[in-house]
Structures are given as structure tokens and as C-alpha cells.
């Protein structure tokens, strides 16, 4: 098991959700030092802590383990959902329009 990869997945999702290490540690009821060690892969996290982190980030444990989607360590959909949760309805509409335009451009040129 690659604890560094798991830690990086946790960090990526945490940042996408706009949470600090302190905020996530508080939600999971662990120390900030422990959270830091988890994210850097310097400690092995227990199954209960993994489940609690996934619940706090509103993702599947597979997303944290990097096994939910072949070739991707974190679900892009979950990452985008975290970003959209922080948006106003107007901001979310702008992001959706940008995503649609980007997809059309990629389909045209790739």
C-alpha cells in the first residue's frame, strides 16, 4: 500500500474542498500533526481514520486509495463537486458554461 499516494490524494481533495489541514483534522477528531503525517505518508493511517476522512471529504474510500478510477488517483467528478459546493448559483453556471466550451473545443481539435 502506497501511503504517500494516499496522503497526496487526501491533500488534493482537501484543498479542492477548500479545507485546511486543521479543519479536516478537527472534523476527523485527530491532531493536526497526525493529519500532516498522513498527508506526507510518514504514518500509516488506520481503517477507521481512512473512513472518517472519506466521510469528512464526502468521497469514497476508493478515491483516497487511488483505486476508484483506473489511471486517475482521485475522481475528477468528486473534485469538481467540491469546488462547485463553494460557488454561488451564478458562479456554478459560469463554470458549467466554461466546461462545456472547453469540451467542445477539445472535441474539435483533438
Q: What is the mean pLDDT of residues 23-33?
A: 96
Q: How far is CA 71 from the centre of its chain?
A: 16
HSE value, Cβ hemisphere, 13 Å, CA-based, for 61: 8
pLDDT tops 90 at residue 27: yes
Lowest mean pLDDT among 38-42, 73-77, 87-91: 73-77
Mean pLDDT across the stretch 35-63? 93
pTM: 0.66
Three-state SS at 23: helix
Q: Which three cell numbers stand for residue 69?
A: 478510477
Amino acid at each position: 500500500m502506497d501511503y504517500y499516494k494516499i496522503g497526496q490524494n487526501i491533500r488534493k481533495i482537501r484543498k479542492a474542498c477548500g479545507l485546511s489541514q486543521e479543519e479536516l483534522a478537527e472534523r476527523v477528531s485527530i491532531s493536526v500533526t497526525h493529519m500532516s503525517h498522513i498527508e506526507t505518508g510518514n504514518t500509516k493511517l488506520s481503517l477507521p481514520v481512512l473512513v472518517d476522512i472519506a466521510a469528512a471529504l464526502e468521497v469514497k474510500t476508493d478515491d483516497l486509495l487511488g483505486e476508484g478510477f483506473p489511471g486517475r488517483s482521485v475522481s475528477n467528478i468528486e473534485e469538481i463537486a467540491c469546488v462547485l459546493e463553494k460557488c454561488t448559483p451564478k458562479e456554478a453556471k459560469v463554470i458549467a458554461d466554461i466546461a462545456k466550451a472547453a469540451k467542445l473545443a477539445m472535441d474539435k481539435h483533438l
